[in-house]
Every structure is written in C-alpha cells, then in structure tokens.
Amino acid sequence: MRFLALLRKELRESLPWLLLAGLLLLGVGLLAVHSEARFAHMRHQHWSSHSGLGPGEIVNVYDLVRSPHLAWVAMWLAFIAPGLGLVLGVCHFWVPLFARTWSFLLHRSTSRMSILGAKLAAAILGLLISLGLVWTGLYWYACRPGLLPIPEPIQILVVGWIYIAVGLVVYLGTALSALSTARWYTTRIFGLAFAVLAAFVILLQWHPVWIIALMVFAIAILFVQTVAAFLSREF
C-alpha cells in the first residue's frame, strides 16, 4: 500500500519523460521500418557473417544483420536509453534536492529502503515499458511477414535490450552522484563518471559473456553504493 503509493508517485512524476522517450523511439522505429527506399541500397552490399553478438560492432552491424532497419533504430536507442537513464536519475535524486522536498518525502511510515526501492523500481519499470516494450514491439512489428524483404535477426533485439540496460547503469550513476555529499563537484561527479565509463566499456565488447559480466558488475557496484549512500546520507 505504502510502497505502491511511493511507486505511483515516482512513475507519475517522470511520466512526461517516459512518454517522450517512448514516443521518440516509436517514431524513429516506425519511420525506419517503413522507409524501404532509404535502406534499399545497403542490402546490396557484401555481408560477412560474424557469430558474435557484440554491440561494439554496431559500426559493423550492417554486416551482422541482414537488414539495416532496426540497426539504425538501435543506434538511436544507444542514445535514448542512457539519456532517459540520466533524466530519471535527475528526476528522482537531483530535483528533490533543488526543490527541497526530501524532508517531506523521507518522513514516511515506511523504511528508508522502501523509499529508495520505489525510485529504483520506478526507473526499471519506466525503462522496461517506455523503451523495452516499444523496442520489442518494433521488433515484432518489423518481423511481420511481408513488411520487410529480409526478416530482422534476433540479435538486434538483444542489442537494443543491452542498450536499455546501459540506461539503468547511467541512472544509477546519476543517482550516486546526486547522493554524494562530496563538496567538490569533481569528486561528486564520480558516480556518473564511473557509470559512463562502464557503459563505454560494455559497449565496446563483442563477446556476450563479457557484456553480461560487465553489466552485472557495474550494476551491482553502483546499486550497492547507491543504497549505502542513501541510507547514510543526511538530508
């Protein structure tokens, strides 16, 4: 009941941004899928095949995938997802600082962890629905028989989801930066810097094991640090 109230509040608060990101992705996606002419010339290039997954090969993704439509959309997603992560992090953790609403929010008949949990859950749900759902929907749509000459491979779907997970990494980094009580802005930015660095490193990998391992590692570290910072911080 209480957790739901917190979750509802966080979701409603960031709804405009979620809608913006989701609609942007949808728009770009539909545009790409229906712009056969635009991408036609690429189909005649020579394709080599790699067995790897590597989002780091996004530059070469036109090699990887037989059809470039969603690859192009995935490039957009590579910016939209971390962007949304950043914006959500700002909404959840920076805005209360400037609006001075932490005092009001923290005096709740629930544990402090719940309050943090609601924010995290809202971010994850937000990313899942506004980006994950739209992206998966686009993939399903693009795979409908007769729409595209060559069906999109499943790998591109996974690539998109990896970008969305990177969005979560950036979110946690933003949160950590906001919660940092360091005086100097250089040290304060550490959380976000770490997240961005981790994102880059992840995106440069091509082996699925490395991608997953680094992702889990980055999220775990950032999560633990964020929880610790939140529970001990003074407001």
* Closer CB to another protein, 14 or 67, in the complex: 14
Other beta carbons less than 10 A from residue 9's beta carbon:
14
Closer Cβ to another protein, 95 or 125, answer by number: 95
Q: Does 187 bind another protein (CB under 8 A)?
A: no
Q: Which residues lie closer than 8 Å to 31 by C-beta, 6 or more apart?
A: none
Q: According to the binding rule CB under 8 A, does residue 13 interact with another protein?
A: yes
146: exposed, middle or buried (Cβ count in 10 Å: 0-12, 13-18, 19+): exposed
110: nearest Cα among 20, 6, 200? 6
Q: Nearest approach, Cβ of 144 to another protein (angstroms)?
A: 39
Q: Is 4 in the site for another protein (CB under 8 A)?
A: yes
- Note whether 100 binds another protein by CB under 8 A: yes
Cβ closer to another protein: 35 or 232?
Answer: 232
- Torsion-angle region of residue 146: left (phi > 0), alpha (psi -120 to 50) or beta? left
Decide: is 44 part of the binding site for another protein (CB under 8 A).
no
Smallest distance, another protein to C-beta of residue 123, A: 17
Task: Tell me: does residue 113 bind another protein (CB under 8 A).
Answer: no
Between 51 and 234, name the residue whose CB sits nearer to another protein: 234
94 in contact with another protein (CB under 8 A): no
**Which of 47, 79, 104, 200 is the binder for another protein (CB under 8 A)?**
104
Q: Which of 19, 106, 220, 228 binds another protein (CB under 8 A)?
A: 106
For another protein (CB under 8 A), the number of binding residues is 23
We find the least distance from the C-beta atom of residue 183 to another protein, in angstroms, to be: 10
Binding test (CB under 8 A) with another protein, winner from 41, 44, 46, 107:
107
Q: Is 103 in the site for another protein (CB under 8 A)?
A: yes
For tokens 């930015």, the residue is 189
- Binding residues for another protein, per CB under 8 A? 1-2, 4-5, 8-9, 12-13, 99-104, 106-111, 232, 234-235
